[in-house]
Amino acid sequence: MRSLVSGLLRGAAAGAAGTTAHTAAGSLDRTHRTRPLSAAGLLGDTATGVGVGALAGVLRAAGVRPPPAVSGPVLGLAATAVRGGPQALLRIVDPRRSAGSAADWAARAVPPLVYGFTTHTTLASVSRVAEGREAVPQASPGALLRAAALGAASGSRSAAGLAAVALTSRPDDTGPVASRLGGRTGGALSGLAAAGELVADKLPGVPSRLAPLGLIPRAAFGATSAAAVARRDGHDPTLPGLVGAAAAIGTAVLGVHLRAAAQRRFGSDRPGAVAEDLIAAALGWLGARRPVAAAGLETTERPLRR
């Protein structure tokens, strides 16, 4: 019982941090739409964020510990549902009139994702300290740059980041994601997914990547691949995961503009799509490759396998 109460308090603190990040991320959209957040709305957002975080803390204390790729979007969707449900019932917001364009969907999807990933990573970090586990070194500037590259690769092609992790990892690496992707099954599945996306991306009628079903997986995979590489290389995955998610969202938006520019210039977006393929592959390789020093250390410490 005591552990559940501790988990609830840690989760509430993480939810408060997530709410702060959510409010900051949503301020740009509110400024653009000239819709200031009222005091009642801010109070409701805070209560919702803290409550959802507290529930996540209780579940974590009970042993439910999903990876960031699952926990981040789920927490964001849960908070959005709690916030929007009563408003829809009271007819404060009409969901049928708030659909908007793909850009509107993207703008509304970013703050919940920021809340979810911030709450998850804060809760994981606080729990690590509270449970007395060994401290993990913080990510270096180079590790954060690799995280941004993996996030950008995932924003261009959602499977690119995970495929790059699979190609540069081994089954005996640290971390569940890198070790599983580094095996034959993980490598084969991620490679097939990446190859299939290269083909499907150029087919007519493909939904916009800025729609929720396109943007949320990109942010989740960007965070997961960046966090997996950070943990594999011995760094705390918290900040790299956030950087990866943010880079994925930003690159997804930039990719849409790149394809539109190619359409105007060449009469077809195919050149832009091919250029994006190459950029995603290069960014994935740069982000997932092992640091030179670490690779040299492994060569001297590990015997050669015959």
φ and ψ at residue 174, rounded to 5 degrees: -75, 140
Please say whether the beta carbons of 245 and 117 come within 8 A. Answer: yes
Task: Find the mean pLDDT for residues 229-257.
Answer: 88
Residues 6+ apart with CB under 8 A from 29: 107, 108, 110, 111
CA 97/CA 55 separation, integer angstroms: 31
Whether the per-residue pLDDT at 148 is higher than 60: the answer is yes
Share of the chain above pLDDT 70, in %: 79
φ and ψ at residue 66, rounded to 5 degrees: -70, 160
Q: Who wins on pLDDT, 126 or 86?
A: 126
Q: Residue 289's Cα: distance from chain center in Å?
A: 20
Task: Find the mean pLDDT for residues 29-58.
Answer: 74
Task: Find the mean pLDDT for residues 110-117.
Answer: 85
Please say whether the beta carbons of 105 and 210 come within 8 A. Answer: yes
Segment holding 131, helix H or strand E? none
pLDDT in the model for residue 27: 63
Half-sphere exposure of 125 (CA within 13 A, CB side): 21
CA 231/CA 213 separation, integer angstroms: 27
Task: Find the mean pLDDT for residues 34-57.
Answer: 78
Query: In the numeric block, which tokens belong to residue 183?
Result: 């095996």
Query: In the numeric block, which tokens belong to residue 131?
Result: 């449970």
Task: Find the mean pLDDT for residues 155-174.
Answer: 94
pLDDT-wise least confident of 28-37, 199-208, 261-270, 281-290:
28-37
Q: Residue 304 — very low, low, confident or very high, per pLDDT cuts 50/70/90?
A: very low
Query: In the numeric block, which tokens belong to residue 240?
Result: 């790299």
Q: Residue 35 — very low, low, confident or very high, per pLDDT cuts 50/70/90?
A: low
Predicted confidence (pLDDT) per residue in 265-281, tens digit: 999 888 999 999 999 99
pLDDT in the model for residue 122: 87
CA 91/CA 94 separation, integer angstroms: 6
pTM above 0.75, yes or no: no
Share of the chain above pLDDT 90, in %: 30
Among left, alpha and beta (phi > 0; psi -120 to 50; other), residue 193 is alpha
pLDDT-wise least confident of 2-6, 95-99, 156-160, 247-251:
95-99
- Sorted by where each begins, the domain ranges of the chain are 2-130, 141-301
Per-residue CA distances from 106 to 8, 272, 290, 302 (Å):
31, 21, 33, 47
pLDDT in the model for residue 220: 86
Which of 1-20 are b and which e, b meaning 16 or more Cβ less than 10 Å from the residue's Cβ?
eeeeebbbbbbbbbbbbbbe
Per-residue CA distances from 118 to 11, 111, 237 (Å):
12, 10, 12
User: For the chain, what is the radius of gyration of the CA atoms?
Assistant: 20
pLDDT in the model for residue 52: 93
Q: What is the average pLDDT value for the chain, to the nearest integer?
A: 81
Q: Who wins on pLDDT, 164 or 88?
A: 164
CA 37/CA 84 separation, integer angstroms: 14
- Whether the CA torsion 70, 151, 142, 20 is positive or negative: it is negative
Q: Residue 293 — very low, low, confident or very high, per pLDDT cuts 50/70/90?
A: low
Query: In the numeric block, which tokens belong to residue 5?
Result: 């109460």
Whether the per-residue pLDDT at 53 is higher than 70: the answer is yes
Task: Find the mean pLDDT for residues 241-259.
Answer: 88
Predicted confidence (pLDDT) per residue in 65-112, tens digit: 887 778 888 898 888 888 765 554 444 444 444 545 555 666 677 788
